[in-house]
Every structure is written in structure tokens, then in C-alpha cells.
Chain A
Amino acid sequence: MFVLTEMEDDIRVAPHDLHRPHLTAVSSEIKAKYFDKVLRNVGLCVSLHDLQAVEGGFIFPSDPGPHFTVRFRLVVFSPFVGEVLVGRLVKCDATGLSVSLDFFSDIHIPHYNLQEPSVFDEEEKLWVWKFNDNDMFLDMDEMIRFKVVSVKYPPLPVEQEKGATAFATMEIVGDINGDGLGLLSWWS
């Protein structure tokens, strides 16, 4: 689920932070710049693992903040294709399910990746897996085990319609069609 990503960047420490130790000031700049941001084709940055090298500290004309060249490693949420994850079911509609890990919510399980046969119950607005004459409802807020099918980084849209949902920079498509997949309670 998590990988280490080695990065190099030019970090500027603001003048009002110069009283702090260099490493602390550089770490908080990295925190502000990277945490909770998606690096395209890499993943969602979660935390700073360590600083490997801090060089420089040069001051350029008419800029009071020193610039450091920093090499560091970030902890990045980057599931691989085929990985099995456990999340919570947060939304159900005719197109499929929406699953959330507490820190990441853009996980979609399309209707064709549900256990077969599954039908959408219009009254309860929930998906139901019809297994051997049993109706197994996919209730909301249940823990669900799914397999990662793809991780997509859609390009930024040039225009969005008014009222469209917030744009997702990282999307995961999941699959619960298989033994052991689906609600945890089905297989325990």
C-alpha cells in the first residue's frame, strides 16, 4: 500500500524561520508543500520518511530566504495493481460502489466488477449479491475487501461544468468479483 519515493527539490526557508534549526525548517517546508498532495504517476504523499541530504543555503539577490537543495524520502500511498485492500463502503448507486480508506476516498467499484449475480435494489438503494437464493446486501459503512484493478491519474480538465463534483487527481478502480472479496462478514 505504501512505498518510499526518493525526491530532490529546491526548498526555500522563509526568513522568519531562520531562528529554527535548518533541518526542522526544511522539514516543515516539505510538509506544507507535499503532504496530502498527489504526485502524478507516483501516488498520494502521506508523510516524510527522512532527509538524506541538505545542501546549499545560498541567498540570492533581493530574496532574503536561503535556498537549500534537499534530497529526501516520502511515504507515498501507491497501491499496485492486484493488491488486496480493506476499506469502508460509503456510497452506493446504479454505477457501482464507492469505497473509502479514511485518508483516501476516490475508490470506485463499477457494477460489472461486483460478485455475480448482483442486482441494484431500487427501494433500499443498495446492491445485493444473490448467492444460492440468499440475498446478501452490501450495507453502508461495512468493511469491504477489494482488489485493485487500476490506478489512474486523469489529466486536469480545462473546463468544468458548474456544480460538477470536485475533480479527483488520483482514482482507483476496484474489483470484488472473486472468492474472499466483498464484505468481510461474508467470509469470516
Chain B
Amino acid sequence: MKVLQPCAGLLTNHEVFQLLTDRGAMGAVDVSQGGMGPAAIECQVYRYLCAAPAATQTRAAVAACTEWAASFGLTRAETLQLVNLRPSQPVEAHLIISDCEMRLPGDRVEQLLQAVEETLPAAPEVEGTEEEAAAVEGG
């Protein structure tokens, strides 16, 4: 066993969600030995990501958001967290971006949040207000 590259690339939660969907992780766990169905760990990660902003995102939305993040001068790690967490409040943006006041002065933070709001779909609601939120956001 050889680890050739411990970090060959960063994955957004959406990419992992997509991969697990393709592997059938929304179905039952495949406990048979040597089976090709989803493993228990894949189903658990899928369940976790179902409640995350990643569940409603699309590749096009993530690409659009990444472009916007680049225009604001964010690093790769900050862009990744922006896509994964989909901040809606300035306090969340300050959490993700280091030296936020210096790099995004004035209302640049608001502009960034506006760009995130427009490019990424709303995160899935947890308490059964899903339909309401979808109707309000307009998809």
C-alpha cells in the first residue's frame, strides 16, 4: 500500500454528494461481502450532505460561484468553504475569509454575499419548511 499523493485535489461537498448519488447511496446499505452497492459509510456521508447546502447545488452553480469568488480575490480554501457553507450573513463571511476588513472593505462583503445568493441555490430547510422556502426563492 502506497500513498502516492495524500492531497491530489480538494473536493467540494457537492462533488462528493454527486458521486455518492451516482453510487446509489440514497438506497439501502449493501451489507453483502463483495457487493457493488453503497457501503455504510457512504450512506452516512450522503445523509449528512442531504442537509447541507451541497444537496441543492449544481455543477454550473458551483462554477459560477467560483468565478465570482476569484474576482473578489479569495484563495482556494476560502472559495471551497464559500461553496460548502453558503454564507448568508456578514458574520459568516468574516469567519471564512481571513483579514476580511482589509481585503474586502466597505460593502464588498455585501456584494460577495449577494453574488453567493444569486449563484448558489438556497440550502435545504431542516424543519419541514422546504416547500415554503423553495416557493419564496423561486428555485
Smallest Cβ-Cβ distance to B84: which chain A residue: A1
For the complex, is A27 an interface residue (Cβ under 8 Å from B)? yes
Kindly identify which residue among B1, B36, B77, B94 contacts A7, using a CB–CB cutoff of 8 Å.
B1
| One of A39-47, A90-98, A115-123, A126-134 contacting the partner | A39-47
Kindly identify which residue among A41, A47, A145 contacts B20, using a CB–CB cutoff of 8 Å.
A47
Q: Which residues 96-130 in A have Cβ within 8 Å of B in the complex? A: 101-103
A8-B2, A35-B41 known; A3-B94 Cβ under 8 A = no
B2 near A9 (CB under 8 angstroms)? yes
Instruction: Produce 1/0 per residue, A147-188, CB < 8 A to B.
Output: 100000000000000000000000000000011110000011
A32 near B33 (CB under 8 angstroms)? yes
Instruction: Produce 1/0 per residue, B4-46, CB < 8 A to A.
Output: 1111111101011001100100000000011110011110110
Q: Taking the nearest CB of chain B, how far is it from the CB of A27, in angstroms? A: 7
Q: Taking the nearest CB of chain A, how far is it from the CB of B44, in angstroms? A: 4
B16 near A2 (CB under 8 angstroms)? yes
A3-B8, A73-B8 known; A84-B3 Cβ under 8 A = no
Kindly identify which residue among B19, B48, B52, B91 contacts A179, using a CB–CB cutoff of 8 Å.
B91
B6 near A41 (CB under 8 angstroms)? yes
> How far, in whole Å, are A97 and B11 apart by their CA atoms in the complex?
28
B16 near A46 (CB under 8 angstroms)? yes
Give me the 10 closest cross-chain CB pairs, A-B, nearest first.
A103-B44, A36-B41, A102-B48, A180-B95, A6-B5, A180-B91, A6-B4, A2-B11, A4-B9, A4-B8
Cβ contacts A to B, 28 pairs, < 8 Å: A2-B15, A2-B16, A3-B11, A4-B7, A4-B9, A5-B7, A5-B8, A6-B3, A8-B2, A24-B36, A25-B34, A28-B34, A31-B39, A42-B6, A47-B42, A49-B19, A77-B45, A78-B7, A82-B77, A83-B77, A84-B85, A86-B52, A86-B85, A145-B95, A179-B91, A180-B89, A180-B91, A187-B91
